Structure 1
Amino acid sequence: MYIDLERTDLSEHRTGVCIVGAGAAGITMARRLLAAGLTVTLLESGGLDYEAGTADLNAGENVGEEYYPLDHARLRFFGGTSAIWGGRIAELDPIDFEKRQWVPWSGWPVSHQQMKPYYREARGLFGLPPEPPRTADMASAGVRLPDFDERELSLKLWSFDERFNRFTFPACKDLQDHPRCTLMTHATVSDIRTDREARHVRSLRVQSLTGRTLDVHADIVVLAAGGIENPRLLLASRSVMAQGLGNARDLVGRFFMEHPHARGGRIVASRAWNLLKAFGRKHRVRGQSAAALIAPSERRQLEAGILNTSLTVVPRQPAGDVLFWGMRAYNRVKHDMAPTKRGRAMWMYTKRAAALAQSTIDPLRPWLLHRMKQVDLALLVRAEQAPNPDSRVLLSGESDALGVPRVKLDWRMNELDVHSVERLVDTLGREIERLGIGKVEPASWLSDSGRRWQTDPLISSHALGGYHHMGTTRMADDPKRGVTDQHGRVHGIANLYIAGSSLFPTSGWANPTLTIAALALRTADHIALQIDKRQAPELSTERAYAFA
């Protein structure tokens, strides 16, 4: 069933599980819970497409590192930011889950081994086979990767989901038609109401911008609204706990992480063809699209005390140049147009046209530009950011149109972030020289006094970061180190769970979407198991209906 809160007189709603946020995490959980026999309501703050008024609910302040305007940093409509994502799919590495002595606050309460079956299943959600392609498979695709010393550098691959609209409303007909599923749009949660001890969620206050209000009563509540909105909702729900729900130890909103981007330098090589062919484009590998990147080996991370930061070799204009007109036009389509259905379609058409041209012409085009000294073999850094308690989401003194305090983002980097890039670039330089490929010239900011992170508008169409908001309701079995336990349940609140990348204790090198989906499956299985354990006759008559 589908309900638009702006077009109904409904004032109260009861359900088994209520999921707040219809993005990749929320939709994945809804499908899993329905398959387990539960009754599910999925609340989406926006409508079925982009609306400027709803987008304004995202607005806030940036008071730390330079970052994207917060009303542009995530999308508020059914399907969420996945409606414009780049499709990169990759697992975190085993070391990303481990406690690393040189990385303060590292360590997940779940291991890579425990996550592996959920990773395999999650890949299927994106139309991919259970196992990712291996770098050894690249040779069969006619791609020769550099023979780096495996003790120094690790070659990795992204897979790509080639469907851009996997989580939009038309793609969720199964949820629309499901007899135990209610989809509700224009339904913004403005308050989470608990009992007097803040141990059990009693209801959600839901509002629309047109003045409609609704009280939702659920046996289980899941926040799946993203790495900024999840902590915002907890911090703004202060009727029982003045500091916000789940925030007895002042951890909600802390440890905000991104995958920050930067120019790490350039490779100076007389023969650029092989590097451009290996790293400058996607390849067809075992029936799926894949692209290669470079990261430090686990041994190198340990020896140098660095993060699992990554980089790739891309043809880019030299630092300080004026951006080519073609890229200016692409950026206008991507960033300046409103992300409506029409705007997204235009961006996707442009992106696909560029990808087709790249697959047809490259590496000839960038090779010729490099020969003419129009582009460098630049090192595009996509970094792991260290967990930092001072990097955080806060509430500002202003409120949005629904009376919810707006966000204030204080994004902060530290010395370990810069040190990790410097050591990775240095390691790559030694390997490039050893293989006789050329030499690496590190970017000047890596050796500047003060050692501050430096972005470059020419290095990527997303120059600041990947729009990956992580860490703000981190998992930890010890409540002194995290907001939730290993299953995403908020410490101290029996029926409140969180899904999404706000759970990540560390960010690793990999794009977060696959891990988001895998964790959503795992948490959904846990919720279904807990409900199964306390099924009737323990359930009251009033509550038992939700699971029929």
Structure 2
Amino acid sequence: MLADLRSLDSNQTFDTPICIIGAGIAGLTLARRLLALGWSVLLVESGGTDFETRVQNLSAGGEIGHPYYDLDSVSLRMLGGTTAIWGGRCAELDPVDFETRAWVPHSGWPFGLAELRPYYDQALKIFQVPAPAADRRSMADCLPLLQSLDRDDLAVGFWSFDDVADRFAAPRIGDVLDHPRCRVLTHATVTALHLDPGASFVSSATIRDVSGKCATVTARHFVLALGGIENPRLLLASCDVAAAGIGNDRDLVGRFFMEHPHARGGRVSGPGIWELLRTFGRRHRTGTASHAALLRLSETAQERTRSLNSAITLGLRQPEAARQALIARSYAALKHNLDATSTNRRLWRMTKRGLRWLNEATHPLRPWLAIKSGQAEVAVIVRAEQAPNPDSRVTLADERDALGMPRTLLDWNFTALDKHSVRSLVEALGTALTRDNLGELGPADWLDENGPLWHTDPKISAHPIGGYHHMGTTRMADDPAHGVVDRHGRVHGVANLHIAGSSVFPTGGWANPTLTIAALALRLGDRFGPFA
């Protein structure tokens, strides 16, 4: 049942077996699994069925580290959450991402890929994309260059694309909204969790709305599914019993903020650029899904060079020094400057489809003309893994939002390992191109020893800074000295509080987190088991 806090009497108390806070992909996937297991669920969402500026402004915050997007633009407060502006990329983490790597401080998950394997298989069905092994076979068959490059220090990886728009938005989640054992409460922002006097369990949660309405939730279990910025914000702000915030006895809540930062790794020239663009600069449809190929360092090369599991692709881009083209500026304005209402999202998707059609219809003439005239180059596009870094963190600012919650302060930082890993990958690609007589690679200037730890290039991507992937801020570890939650997502020391989503990732790899978020949510649901 769908209910709106604004239309209810104020100061109500909702009592439920389990309360999920946040109705994005993590919250909705978990809710579906729990409903299937017989639970009654209260799903609490800060926004409504579509984008609303007044509610979205609650996410505004400050930044003091490496420049980032405005915080009120990177996670949406509405049913379906940020999946409303998701590009549909699905990929699994690699086995190495779960391992403790001696050269990567704070690396290692409490479990390996094998434990998540059955849940990945189930999550793939949610997005209607095939298993990675099937992708690899079909893509290699139609793109022989992949077989040539997938050796020595390089390995090929893939994204698969979910082509269904707004898969988790209100029109497509009727099974949840209409379920007799599910109440979905919108315009209900949780502003505080309250611990019992012994600080061992959450006794209640306070919910409020910008309209002035308020209520209380009591539950046997609470699950936070608010994302990598808002999860730590709520824990830190809930300090009436635990002075440092819930789960923050070891000062770990909010630390280890990671993204998938984007950058230009260099440019490629030579006889093989057309085959490289055909292979890596476009999507390829095989069977019922479309896919895109990428390159990363092999596990052996990562260990030898002591590098992270970053990824690169190749694409036609303007040189960094060029004035950004009108069509690129217009697309960026549509994507970043318009509110993410359903109407504007349709406009953005139409524009995106049109640009993709134009790219396909004019290939290879347009790339040839652009390169020959100097208006474009074959750029190395970096989508990097970040090393877990305790100094990269989310904290609370002195300023408060309209509901009285402290706003967020993001201090996003890089390490020398982040840059070194990109340089190692770019060097490996350059070696492979020379070996196969495909061309030469000129590394980007910022990769020099004396360059900055990271350099953002506004022309490298429609998302030039990063992928809107917020990971690590309530990281998972068996030992409470090293993580906020245990291997099951339960907050250490708090019996009935769990966290879902990418904020529990100890490391991020190169893969977009969406598929792993869904897999972990399914796994968490099974952890609760059948309702009793």
Which residue matches 1:467? 468
Letter in 2 for 1:6: R
Does residue 1:183 correspond to 2:178, yes or no? no
Question: Matches of 1:277 and 1:110 in 2, distance apart?
Answer: 38
Report what 1:523 is aligned to: 524
Please list the CA deviations of residues 312-337 of structure 1 after superposition, one character each: whole Å capped at 9, or x if unmatched. Answer: 00100112100111111111111111
Aligned to 2:394: 393
Distance in 1, matches of 2:118 and 2:358, equals: 37
Q: Note the 1:10-89 alignment, pairs <5 A.
A: 11-89=12-90
TM-score, normalising length from structure 1?
0.95
Q: Distance in 2 between matches of 1:359 and 1:316?
A: 15
Residue 488 (str. 1) matches residue 489 (str. 2): yes
Q: How does 1:241-280 map to 2 (within 5 A)?
A: 241-280=242-281
Deviations 1:354-411 (A, max 9, x none): 2223333334422332233221110010000000000000000111010110000000
**Structure 2 residue aligned with 1:383:** 384
The correspondence of residues 185-224 of structure 1 with structure 2, limited to 5 A, is: 185-224=186-225
**SS where residue 345 of structure 2 aligns?**
helix
Match of 1:239 in 2: 240
Kept after mapping to 2: 8 A contact 1:266/1:379? yes
Compared CA separation, residues 364 and 110, structure 1 to 2 (3 A): farther
Quote the residue 2:116 is aligned against. 115
Alignment match, 1:541:
none
Contact 1:280–1:363 at 8 Å: present in 2 too?
Answer: no
Partner secondary structure for residue 56 of structure 1: helix
Please name the residue that 1:7 is paired with: 7
Aligned counterpart, 2:312: 311
Distance 1:419 1:142 in 2: 30
Residue in 2 aligned with 1:345?
A: 346
Partner Cα separation in structure 1 for residue 189 and residue 401 of structure 2? 12
Matches within 5 A, 1:123-134: 123-134=124-135
Q: For residue 286 of structure 1, report the CA deviation from its aligned partner.
A: 3.1
What is the TM-score when the length of structure 2 is the normalising length?
Answer: 0.98
User: What is the SS of the residue equivalent to 1:145?
Assistant: helix
Pairwise CA distance, 1:198: 1.1
Gaps of 5+ in 1: 536-548
The SS at the match of 1:134 is: helix
**CA deviation after TM superposition for structure 1 residue 26, in Å:** 0.3
Aligned residue-pair number: 531
How far apart are residue 139 of structure 1 and its match? Answer: 4.1
Residues 231, 503 of structure 2: 8 Å contact kept: yes
C-alpha separation in 1, matches of 2:441 and 2:324: 23
Deviations 1:113-132 (A, max 9, x none): 11111101101011223455
**Structure 2 residue matching 1:320: 3-state secondary structure:** coil
* Equivalent-residue separation in structure 1 for 2:452 and 2:13 (angstroms): 55
Change (3 A) 1:304 1:448: closer
Q: Which runs of 5+ in 2 are unaligned?
A: none
Match of 2:507 in 1: 506
Q: Residue 288 of structure 1 aligns with which residue? A: 289
Matching residue of 1:324 = 325
The answer to whether the Cα contact below 8 Å between 2:150 and 2:156 also exists between their aligned partners in 1 is: no
Asked if the contact 2:135–2:291 (Cα under 8 Å) also holds between the matched residues in 1, the reply is no
Q: How far has the Cα of 1:5 moved from its partner?
A: 0.4
Segment drifting more, 418-427 vs 366-375: 366-375
Counterpart for residue 538 of structure 1: none
- Aligned equivalents of 1:50, 1:168: Cα separation in 2: 11
Paired with 1:412 and 1:213, the residues of 2 have a C-alpha distance of: 37
Identity %: 52
1: distance between equivalents of 2:240 and 2:364?
59
